A and B are shown apart, each in its own frame.
Chain A
Amino acid sequence: SQKIEQNSEALNIQEGKTATLTCNYTNYSPAYLQWYRQDPGRGPVFLLLIRENEKEKRKERLKVTFDTTLKQSLFHITASQPADSATYLCAAGSSASKIIFGSGTRLSIRP
């Protein structure tokens, strides 16, 4: 079955460093990947979209890559700040199927 896998272990990063989160997909060829941020007790908030024909996308301190050979997306936050602490969800979609969400990776940025 189609799967989106994210590292279930929390990621702890020192403030100012770059945080890198991984999303792997199996049995699936998504047309696009998305990253969402979810804070405790809140709904997910859309951050970035990258399409299958794009290698990299940037938005301010955020960068997303899409490697169709490795079947993987990497999500980077540069110059991380404590306010970046949240759970980050990866989602994959195509025209033929509904969006599939990963279970998320919890990121903690310590001052």
Chain B
Amino acid sequence: SAVISQKPSRDICQRGTSLTIQCQVDSQVTMMFWYRQQPGQSLTLIATANQGSEATYESGFVIDKFPISRPNLTFSTLTVSNMSPEDSSIYLCSVVPQREGRVQTQYFGPGTRLLVL
């Protein structure tokens, strides 16, 4: 398993500004992901954070809007840029500490609740 912390836990931001969310893991992990979850909705994968290279973004998400850094195997940041009210959501960091064959068991951080006014 892994223990994951996120900062901030919540924030209220003005439209047009940017917010950087931090994710810290208590052990080195290869696989790290960023998700978005809107109320009553499923988890939507934003990107896979790759250590030492550019993140891999899912369809509908672009680097200019959601730049991601992954400087080492225990830390990553997600920035939500030029925010609009549609970006209001919970942002979650997750890791796969150890892959068992084809199985990926994900461990999630507590989430960052973002409200954009």
Residues facing B in A22-44 (CB within 8 A) are 31-32, 34, 41-44
> With A32-B102, A32-B103, A99-B104 given, is the CB distance from A41 to B113 under 8 Å?
yes
Q: By the criterion CB–CB under 8 Å, are A103 and B110 in contact?
A: no
Q: By the criterion CB–CB under 8 Å, are A103 and B106 in contact?
A: no
Q: Which residue of B lies closest to A96 (CB)?
A: B102
Interface of chain A, main secondary structure: strand
Q: Please tell me the size bucket of the interface on B.
A: 20 to 34
A99 to B96, CA, bound (A): 11
Q: Which residue of B lies closest to A103 (CB)?
A: B42
Query: Smallest distance from the beta carbon of B91 to chain A beta carbons, Å?
Result: 10
Which residues of chain A are within 8 angstroms of B107 by Cβ–Cβ distance? 46
> With A101-B43, A103-B41 given, is the CB distance from A43 to B103 under 8 Å?
no
- Say which one of A58-66, A69-77, A78-86, A87-95 lies at the interface with B: A87-95
Q: By the criterion CB–CB under 8 Å, are A93 and B43 in contact?
A: no
Q: By the criterion CB–CB under 8 Å, are A42 and B111 in contact?
A: yes
Q: By the criterion CB–CB under 8 Å, are A101 and B111 in contact?
A: no
Q: Which residue of A lies closest to B101 (CB)?
A: A95
Would you give the 0/1 interface string for B79-117, flagging 1 where the beta carbon is closer than 8 Å to chain A? 000000000000010100000011111111111010000
Query: Smallest distance from the beta carbon of A93 to chain B beta carbons, Å?
Result: 6
Q: By the criterion CB–CB under 8 Å, are A43 and B94 in contact?
A: yes
Q: By the criterion CB–CB under 8 Å, are A102 and B110 in contact?
A: no
Query: Smallest distance from the beta carbon of A1 to chain B beta carbons, Å?
Result: 11
Query: Smallest distance from the beta carbon of B17 to chain A beta carbons, Å?
Result: 23
Which residues of chain A are within 8 angstroms of B105 by Cβ–Cβ distance? 34, 46, 49
Q: By the criterion CB–CB under 8 Å, are B45 and A98 in contact?
A: yes
From B41, B45, B108, give the contact of A43 (CB < 8 A): B108
Q: By the criterion CB–CB under 8 Å, are B42 and A41 in contact?
A: no
Which residues of chain A are within 8 angstroms of B60 by Cβ–Cβ distance? none
Q: Which residue of B lies closest to A30 (CB)?
A: B102
**Most chain B C-beta atoms within 10 Å of own C-beta, residue among A41, A43, A49, A51:** A43
Query: Smallest distance from the beta carbon of A27 to chain B beta carbons, Å?
Result: 16
Interface residues of A (CB under 8 A from B): 4, 8, 31-32, 34, 41-46, 49, 51, 89, 91, 93-95, 98-99, 101-104
